[in-house]
């Protein structure tokens, strides 16, 4: 069995940062290892570097010029390769509002990649969302969450559906939350015009995630707190945050992080096809997106349309701009989303017996190495 030993770096482990730490990989998993036990191992010394667990992205639409919504293995693998090279070793494929038949077809194709271990599941973002908060979703394709329609998407995913974002104020919304929970699918509140009270009902019915908190929902108001207050204050809810400098002002991100803490924050990219690419025009589901200066907006209307973010940039910004401790940012990028997906027994932290997924970063938090299940995708 091959053995890899990494030494000399600052290692982010569940208990905190270990200076001049040591990581041992045997085969595809992290091993305990002992100092001095390096015979036959490939040893790499990494002074001045950081070693973090591989990033886990709950909410990701595309990258490398490709999109999960294309519903083809070729495009999906391009997205996967683009984000893996930047440290995201585990990801959920997010779809965009479309015709139910098209979404079912996409889910069928993506489910094969989940079964192969390339993806951690499928996230349906829409079509059961609010017209007034639809953002980069086609408003003509939105609908109420009829149980038969919700079930159609779940069934099309063949057991690989992990999350569905909906607006709980739509007729049947609360019942849909219960149906999702009964089916083992995360019910996420997002793209919503819900009141504080309706959001509380959705949480009590089983919703556990806030889809890109603050974005595509009413702003927080002192007499009408709306969904933001309900989602942020409840310990049962994990909140997604897009840390690209465009979706959220740094003060708002810091406020949310201090309120919820790293165990309730999941940094996501919400990335579309332009991630890892340059400016230009890209499809997002049935709509066209114009990317200028790295900011993605609908070509018609100008609404923010996902991001061009990758998780390494989210980490770098969290530490260098937002002032978050590296260990806290790493939890929001890895262990918290892994726990939400129910796969934290395998990924999300550097611990003996877990998959050897890790990211090596230099002192400027630039990616220098990426390992997935013991194999180097980017060699330091």
Number of domains in the chain: 2
Query: Do 44 and 136 fall within a single domain?
Result: no
- Annotated catalytic residue 175: no
Query: In this predicted model, what pLDDT tens digit does every residue of 310-342 receive, in sequence order?
Result: 999 999 999 999 999 999 999 999 999 999 999
Mean pLDDT to the nearest integer, 261-280? 96
Mean pLDDT to the nearest integer, 164-184? 98
Higher per-residue confidence, 282 vs 346: 346
The CATH number given to whatever domain includes residue 31 is 2.30.40.10
Give the pLDDT score at 285.
Answer: 82
Q: Write out the two tokens for 332.
A: 């929001």
The CATH number given to whatever domain includes residue 91 is 3.20.20.140
Residue from 58, 68, 135 nearest 333 by CA: 58
Query: Do 111 and 244 fall within a single domain?
Result: yes
Give the pLDDT score at 35.
Answer: 61
Rg (CA), the chain: 20
Domain that holds residue 189: 55-340
Query: Do 27 and 73 fall within a single domain?
Result: no
Give the pLDDT score at 40.
Answer: 80
* Residue that is written with structure tokens 């995913």 in the block: 157
User: How many other CB atoms are found less than 10 A from the CB of residue 126?
Assistant: 27
Q: Report d(CA 14, CA 173) in Å as an integer.
A: 37
Q: Write out the two tokens for 101.
A: 């038949």
Give the pLDDT score at 37.
Answer: 64
| Range of lowest pLDDT (76-90, 106-120, 143-157, 289-303) | 289-303
Percent of the chain beyond pLDDT 70? 99
Query: In this predicted model, what pLDDT tens digit does every residue of 8-52 receive, in sequence order?
Result: 999 999 999 999 999 999 999 999 876 656 678 999 999 999 999
Give the pLDDT score at 64.
Answer: 97
pLDDT, mean over the chain: 96
Give the pLDDT score at 283.
Answer: 86
Give the pLDDT score at 206.
Answer: 98
Query: Do 363 and 251 fall within a single domain?
Result: no
Mean pLDDT to the nearest integer, 87-116? 97
Query: Do 83 and 13 fall within a single domain?
Result: no
Query: Do 357 and 317 fall within a single domain?
Result: no
> Pick the catalytic residue: 57, 193, 234, 270?
270
Q: Is the dihedral of CA 104, 109, 112, 114 positive or negative?
A: negative
Query: Do 69 and 164 fall within a single domain?
Result: yes
Query: Do 194 and 238 fall within a single domain?
Result: yes
Query: Do 167 and 25 fall within a single domain?
Result: no
Query: Do 179 and 124 fall within a single domain?
Result: yes
Give the pLDDT score at 365.
Answer: 98
Q: Report d(CA 102, CA 84) in Å as an integer.
A: 27
Q: How confident is the model at residue 297 (pLDDT cuts 50, 70, 90)?
A: very high
Q: Considering the entire predicted model, what is its pTM? A: 0.96
Query: Do 12 and 24 fall within a single domain?
Result: yes
Give the pLDDT score at 272.
Answer: 95
Query: In this predicted model, what pLDDT tens digit does every residue of 188-217 receive, in sequence order?
Result: 999 999 999 999 999 999 999 999 999 999
Give the pLDDT score at 377.
Answer: 98
35 neighbors 54 (Cβ within 8 angstroms): no
Query: In this predicted model, what pLDDT tens digit does every residue of 136-163 receive, in sequence order?
Result: 899 999 999 999 999 999 999 999 999 9
Torsion angle in degrees (nearest 10) through CA of 194, 198, 203, 208 = -10
Query: Do 44 and 63 fall within a single domain?
Result: no
Mean pLDDT to the nearest integer, 219-237? 97
């Amino acid at each position: 069995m091959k053995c890899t030993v990494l030494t000399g770096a600052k290692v982010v482990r569940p208990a905190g940062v270990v200076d001049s730490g040591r990581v041992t990989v045997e085969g595809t998993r992290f091993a305990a290892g002992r100092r001095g036990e390096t015979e036959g191992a490939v040893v790499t010394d990494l002074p001045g570097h950081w070693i973090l667990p591989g990033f886990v992205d709950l909410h990701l639409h595309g990258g490398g010029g490709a999109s999960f919504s294309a519903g083809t293995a070729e495009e999906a693998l391009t997205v996967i390769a683009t984000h893996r090279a930047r440290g995201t070793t585990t990801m959920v494929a997010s779809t965009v509002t479309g015709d139910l038949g098209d979404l079912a077809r996409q889910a069928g194709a993506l489910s094969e990649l989940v079964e192969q271990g390339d993806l951690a599941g499928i996230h349906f973002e829409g079509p059961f969302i609010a017209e007034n908060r639809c953002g980069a979703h086609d408003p003509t394709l939105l609908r109420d969450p009829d149980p038969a329609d919700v079930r159609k998407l779940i069934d099309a995913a063949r057991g690989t559906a992990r999350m569905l974002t909906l607006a709980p104020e739509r007729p049947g919304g609360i019942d849909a939350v219960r149906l999702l929970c009964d089916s083992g699918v995360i019910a996420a509140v997002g793209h919503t015009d819900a009141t504080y009270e309706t959001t509380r009902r959705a949480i009590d019915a089983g919703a556990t995630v806030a889809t890109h908190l603050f974005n595509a929902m009413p702003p927080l108001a002192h007499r009408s707190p709306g969904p933001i207050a309900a989602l942020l204050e409840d310990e049962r809810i994990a909140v997604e945050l897009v840390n690209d400098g465009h979706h959220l002002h740094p003060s708002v991100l810091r406020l949310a992080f201090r309120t919820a803490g790293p165990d309730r924050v999941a940094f996501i990219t919400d990335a579309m096809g332009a991630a890892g690419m340059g400016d230009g025009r890209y499809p997002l589901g049935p709509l066209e997106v114009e990317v200028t200066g790295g900011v993605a907006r609908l070509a018609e209307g100008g609404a923010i349309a996902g991001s061009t973010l990758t998780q390494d940039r989210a980490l770098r910004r969290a530490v260098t701009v937002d002032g978050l401790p590296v260990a806290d940012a790493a939890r929001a990028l890895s262990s918290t989303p892994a726990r939400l997906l129910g796969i934290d027994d395998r990924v999300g932290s550097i611990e003996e017996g877990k998959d050897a997924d890790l990211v090596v970063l230099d002192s400027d938090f630039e990616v220098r190495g990426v390992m997935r299940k013991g194999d180097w995708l980017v060699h330091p």
